[in-house]
Amino acid sequence: MIGVGIVGCGLIGGKRARAIGDKARVVACADVDLRRAQALAGSEGRACEDWRAVIASPEVQAVIVATPHDALAAVTLAAVEAGKHVLVEKPAARNLQELEPVMVAARRGASVVRVGFNHRYHRAMRKAKELVSAGLLGPLMFLRGRYGHGGRVGYEREWRANPEQSGGGELIDQGPHLIDLSRWFLDAEFSEVQGFSHTYFWNMPVDDNAFLLLRTPIGQTASLHVSCTEWKNLFSLEIYGRHGKLDISGLGGSYGVERLTWYRMLPEMGPPETLAWEYPMQDDSWQVETAEFLDDIRLDREPSPGLQDAHRTLTVIDKIYRQARP
């Protein structure tokens, strides 16, 4: 059974630990708050404040990195150099310059490195991908995505508002999910990147909104907006093909019930034929994604999404941030 170490024992680290279930064994946990590490490690695991101890442990074959952005690349690089397999949360680094040494080390070694673009694994996304891959929408034309959350007192003092820790604002927080989903559904890279990020409300040195217009070489377009001034949590992704449209909304919890609606265009056009799926049950995306990671290791296969996906996502983010500079 694979021994797993978890670095970063907050909300996401906790979700990752629970998702492992009986498929592997959590043997070590590290967090700057030792109490959180102890709570996650339980009675059988080792808890520590220094993440280096997790990587150095001979019991650990795989490392889950769920820290704030400023530690993602450093921990991943050290784990890869130590021969460990890694599941690192998106965006995998604060910028391209941090990510590139990780990619070089991964190419040289034998470690499997998966990047946690978790939204691909939501039930509605999986079903939508199945419909798109079967050609039921016909050639895709464009998609439109909106992702935002409401404010909370003190938001401007959290680590996401500190550019040294986060690498940016909303664009590098929720933006990577929409960019990755756009690439995944369109099955193409973006040759044209336009947009801007701006701080409208929060008194902080990072953006609270970002607007993106991305085009593939054949003209497919992704129009994306991420926001932390949404006031009511929102997720919406609409995928348009020549034969119909998919409308994905909600992510469960405060984002509302996860739904997928397929609007199938009829030959005579007019009102489309409508088919809908609703997923009110508990989200299983973390379990499905973690099982994929463990299969990557067992089968010695290239992870998807991996470091190359993170690099392409950060390339888009870097271009938008450079365009936003005065």
Beta sheet of 192-198, edge-to-edge order: 192-198, 209-215, 221-227, 140-148, 234-241, 244-249, 258-264, 273-279
Residues 81 and 78: their CA atoms lie apart, in Å, by 5
Angle between helices 285-299 and 11-20 (to 10 degrees): 60
| Gyration radius from the chain CA atoms | 20
pLDDT at 253: 93
**Residue with tokens 């592997």, as numbered in its chain:** 24
Looking at domain 120-285+315-324, its CATH superfamily turns out to be: Dihydrodipicolinate Reductase; domain 2 (3.30.360.10)
pLDDT in tens, the chain (326 residues): 899 999 999 999 999 999 998 889 999 999 999 999 999 998 789 999 999 999 999 999 999 999 999 999 999 999 999 999 999 999 999 999 999 999 999 999 999 999 999 999 999 999 999 999 999 999 999 999 999 998 889 999 999 999 999 999 999 999 999 999 999 999 999 999 999 999 999 999 999 999 999 999 999 999 999 999 999 999 999 999 999 999 999 999 999 999 999 999 999 999 999 999 999 999 999 999 999 999 999 999 999 999 999 999 999 999 999 987 65
pLDDT at 326: 58
Task: Domain ranges for the chain, please list them.
Answer: 3-118, 120-285+315-324
Q: How far out from the chain centre does Cα 109 lie?
A: 24
Residues 124 and 128: their CA atoms lie apart, in Å, by 6
Residues constituting the chain: 326
Assign 3-class secondary structure to the chain. Answer: CCEEEEECCCHHHHHHHHHHCCCCEEEEEECCCHHHHHHHHCCCCEEECCHHHHHHCCCCCEEEECCCHHHHHHHHHHHHHCCCEEEEECCCCCCHHHHHHHHHHHHHCCCCEEEECHHHHCHHHHHHHHHHHCCCCCCEEEEEEEEECCCCCCHHHCHHHCHHHHCCCHHHHCHHHHHHHHHHHHCCCCCEEEEEEECCCCCCCCCCEEEEEEECCCCCEEEEEEECCCCCCEEEEEEEECCEEEEEECCCHHHCCEEEEEEECCCCCCCCEEEEEEECCCCCHHHHHHHHHHHHHHHCCCCCCEHHHHHHHHHHHHHHHHHHCC
Query: pLDDT tens digits for 176-197?
Result: 999 999 999 999 999 999 999 9
Q: In this structure, are residues 191 and 111 in contact, taking their beta carbons and an 8 Å threshold?
A: no
**Residue with tokens 């007019």, as numbered in its chain:** 270
Query: pLDDT tens digits for 82-105?
Result: 999 999 999 999 999 999 999 999
Residues 239 and 247: their CA atoms lie apart, in Å, by 7
Residue type, 254: S
Residue type, 306: G
Residues 225 and 203: their CA atoms lie apart, in Å, by 20
pLDDT at 23: 87
Which CATH number is 3-118 given?
3.40.50.720
Q: How far out from the chain centre does Cα 132 lie?
A: 20
User: How many degrees, rounded to 5, is the angle at CA 318 between CA 312 and CA 323?
Assistant: 135
Nearest Cα to 122, choosing from 270, 258, 319, 264? 258
